[in-house]
Chains A and B, each alone.
Chain A
Amino acid sequence: MATQALSRPRLALTPAYVERTLLLLAALFLAVNTLALTLTTGRGEDWVHFFVWLITAWAGHLWLHRRLPRRDPLFYPLALFLSGWGMLMIERLAPIFADRQTIWLVIGVVAALAVASVPGLLVWLRNFRYTILLASLALLVATILFGVNPSGQAGAPQLWLGFGTVFFQPSELLKVMLVVFLASYLAEQYPALQTLRSRANRRFAGFSPRVIGPVLLMCGLSVTLLFWQRDLGTAALFFIVLLLMLYLASGFGWLLWGGALLVGAAGIAAYRFIGLVRLRIDIWWNPWLDPDGSAFQIVQSLFAFAAGGAYGSGVGSGSPTFIPVVHSDFVFAALAEEWGLLGIIVVLGCIVALVMRGLRVAARQSQRPFFSLMAAGLSLLIAVQTLLITGGVLKLIPLTGVTLPFLSYGGSSLLMTFILVGLLIRLSAEEDGERDA
């Protein structure tokens, strides 16, 4: 009793405290940068977006505090920080889209909170996996038939469904639903997979067609439809996430090497038969052959990294708009130019933190394979998508044309990324008490 009385009370790092502190830091960062942007551009309306972000972030925090007190405290502030930064980037790079991006951010946060709070959602997702995936695929087919491009440019990929002035990209929905489907199906097959593994007890154990058949069918269909649409980046993302989730569920290491070989072989075949792939690989291999023509975008991206240096030129003070469509696929390069290597490391660090917290949730839920695989799959989706686009922008790999989660312009992408975060928040709360019905 005496020892207890003398000891100092420990600082209570409750999820709410951590989340609140991180949100305040994010708000401070955004306020300073909005001020810098206002000073540079002389535009005052950026503050409206900032205050919308602030109110949304705070309201969301209060909601989560009330509904999911035992959630992981990092998902929400990291997502809000990155999406706020993305909103600032859009204000700087393409101000005409800033209002729209801010509205999508609010919708995304609301969706994330709803997904995190709706009781029984995870069970529902698990039970209706085929229906959900087939509905998503139907939307994808509808895109092939009735797809449009919001820019209205002739020859631009028509990956969106238009509803008046609102456009939605079904492939963004499909990628989350595919993870849900895989998590659900592989969780169901998890005992069989483990038995197979322990019985075979050999490195190159294989899957039985009964186990792998439905997965290959559904994923093959998805990838085929995406190839049809020439949405090669999303197709590559699906394929890699599929391989990684299969690896997680089965523990077969050969899947990774075999998958890498398959990607290589597919790349060679695509290089021979698909002009777009050939062009992108040629540009990746040596962009300096045609820096003012076909490789203009990637060359300008590299110039942006060079111009940014270690600390960047400051928001609004660089020239990232030399990069065509910078606000979408190349927002990472714009970030490098204006916030430098320091900004790049901060963004990568935040995404890594988010992914690692997701994998942590997966590890903690290892006794519940559906939750575990879903948490891991959603985390991998963010990680692989980030690696694909940042690697492409940095000339590490051929450019695939996917968005940078949270930061790129795009309502569908932002909405689905927030839904993904909502699911992760829900899964993190599941591990610590709040039970899905």
Chain B
Amino acid sequence: MTLNRELRRLFFGLLIAFAIVAAAAAYWGIWERDALLAREDNPRLVEARAAIRRGAIYDRTGQLLVVSEVEGQRVIRRYLRPETYSALGYYSLRYGAGGIESDFDTQLSGSTLPRTVEDVLLNRPAVGASIQVTFDSSVQRAVINAMSGRHGAVVVMRVQDGALLALASLPTFNPNTLDQDWERLREAPENPFFNRALQGRYQPGGAWQTPLLAATLSTGTVADEVLERAAAPVRLGNLVLVCAQMPSTSDLTFAQAYAYGCPAPFTTLIAPDNNRAFLMLPPSFPPAPAPTATSAEPPTPTPTAPSSENPLRDNLLGQGTITVNPVSMTMLVASIVNGGNAPQPYTLAALQPPDGTWQAQSTASPTLPIMTAETAEQLRGLMLNAVNTGAARAAARPDMEIGGHAAFAYAGDGALSWFVGFTTLNGQDGIAVTVVLENTRDADAAATIGSTALAAARDALLVASSPTLPQTGS
């Protein structure tokens, strides 16, 4: 009997002890679950990501740009075309994703795609959707080759819908060896991780003349009015700003001053009877590209520009506090071809779920009104003239009608060379380009790169006006 009493006590004691163990298991498995699973040092996070077979990326012609290959237990991401490195960004288990890989991460990783019951039951790793982007490898290659290693950015956009045909930023990096190169790249003074096309905000300098002229023309100002000493240099602090190309005479019309990239006439817009032209620019001008269409990363200002004690005058010269993004400048140029309406950029052309068929993505957004159709038409003529007779002559091609504008800007201790231009295809369709080169005063180089990009894009669109869906599966 005594023994039974002790046994009964032990019985209840053990029951309580086992209940505590079960409660502890519930505590870690239910109560603390989310906190533990979210910890960065939980290797299951990396393993889960490593097991995901991300979708492939194709260009608009159906060429394979990025593919995931299974090697043992891991999936290796391979970037096949060096000319597209800067456009596509990177994907790394250790360092995350950037660029296109980041923008379309949910699609590529398949995190939002429905899964079959079999996949869920067997806990099969997710397979992402393949995507087709609007980039064209041939245009991208032509641009990278034309840049010849110069630092800077190039944006090529189709006017009709805002599809980005090329997006170059140099210097860049090889995403195939990112993990090995990370520290070196991070400390590199030229900052290859900085996507100049998407994140860069540069002083526009003379390139600011195009939006200024658009605003001026919209007030009814006649571009043919002759201005005295229009080619005269302008002082900005210690800097002397001159025409991008010196004209033979000092007295010029607005149109001529714009063609030669002469800054002086534009400083007159500060006069009381003219300054309203400047004020008529939309408050958000140049328009910011839609974040999801290009990059979620916000643009980053370049080094401080030289300035004087007259900030309004500095801004009219495209210096001072004024900065622009290359994509925004391309939208402006595209609006000139498109009757004053700026197409919004996008990069996703089509998507193919795993084991599914390709589906075209209607990612083109409504256009943004920038200027009137009349102003756009006038500006278009002025830009064609600038290529024919002005500082952007290097962009001229015998087989193409190219309009454009070349100019310089100053940031920090260096100079920037700009070219904004377009070519028309038919009707209101065309191609717009922006080139910005760092640490150089070479308008011809910028114009040549711009025209090369336009020619390559035209050829690409002539071959295939619409994206060609890839023939292979994911």
Contact = CB atoms under 8 A, between A and B. Distances in A.
Contacts of A36: 121-122
B44 interface: yes
A305 interface: yes
A362 B10 CA distance: 12
A156 to B, nearest CB: 24
B20 interface: yes
B21 A387 contact: yes
B14 A355 contact: yes
Interface string A347-379: 010011001100100110010010010001000
Nearest to B6: A248
Given A40-B122, A313-B123, A319-B44, A341 B4 contact: no
A39 B3 contact: no
B93 to A, nearest CB: 15
Given A248-B10, A310-B30, A394-B24, A387 B41 contact: no
Contact of A348 (B5, B21, B36, B37): B21
A40 B14 CA distance: 37
B25 A344 contact: yes
A399 interface: no
Given A356-B11, A359-B10, A309 B30 contact: yes
Nearest to B37: A306
A143 interface: no
A318 B35 CA distance: 18
Interface string B1-33: 111111110110011011011101110111011
Contacts of A292: 41
A372 B10 CA distance: 14
A306 B22 contact: no
A317 B28 contact: no
B47 interface: yes
Contact of A306 (B11, B14, B32, B122): B32
A324 interface: no
A302 interface: yes
B36 A247 contact: no
Nearest to A391: B21
A340 B123 contact: no
Interface string B200-234: 00000000000000000000000000000000000
B14 A383 contact: yes
Contacts of A318: 123
Interface in A302-321: 302-303, 305-310, 313-314, 316-319
A322 B18 contact: no
A288 to B, nearest CB: 9
Contacts of A133: none
Contact of A340 (B14, B17, B29): B29
A390 to B, nearest CB: 5
Given A310-B29, A359-B10, A390-B21, A251 B122 contact: no
Name B's interface SS: helix
B25 A305 contact: yes
A380 interface: yes
B463 to A, nearest CB: 46
A336 interface: yes
A374 to B, nearest CB: 12
Contacts of B4: 363, 366
B42 interface: yes
Contacts of A387: 14, 17-18, 21
B365 to A, nearest CB: 41
Interface string A313-338: 11011110010000000000000100
Given A363-B4, A391-B21, A306 B41 contact: no
B43 interface: yes
B171 to A, nearest CB: 35
Contacts of A336: 25, 29
B29 A396 contact: no
A286 interface: no
A303 B44 contact: yes
A224 interface: no
A390 B14 CA distance: 13
A348 B18 contact: yes
Nearest to A396: B24
Contacts of A380: 10
A345 B22 contact: yes
B36 A251 contact: no
A172 B228 CA distance: 106
Contacts of B36: 302-303, 305-306
Contacts of A394: 21, 24-25, 28
A319 B47 contact: yes
14 contacts: A248-B6, A300-B43, A305-B36, A306-B29, A314-B123, A317-B122, A351-B18, A363-B8, A383-B14, A383-B17, A387-B17, A387-B21, A391-B21, A395-B28
Closest 8 CB pairs of A and B: A317-B123, A306-B36, A305-B28, A394-B24, A366-B3, A305-B29, A306-B33, A344-B25
Interface of A: 36, 39-40, 194, 197, 244, 247-249, 251, 291-292, 299-300, 302-303, 305-310, 313-314, 316-319, 322, 336, 340-341, 344-345, 348, 351-352, 355-356, 359, 362-363, 366, 369, 372, 376, 380, 383, 386-387, 390-391, 394-396
Interface of B: 1-8, 10-11, 14-15, 17-18, 20-22, 24-26, 28-30, 32-33, 35-37, 39, 41-44, 47, 121-123
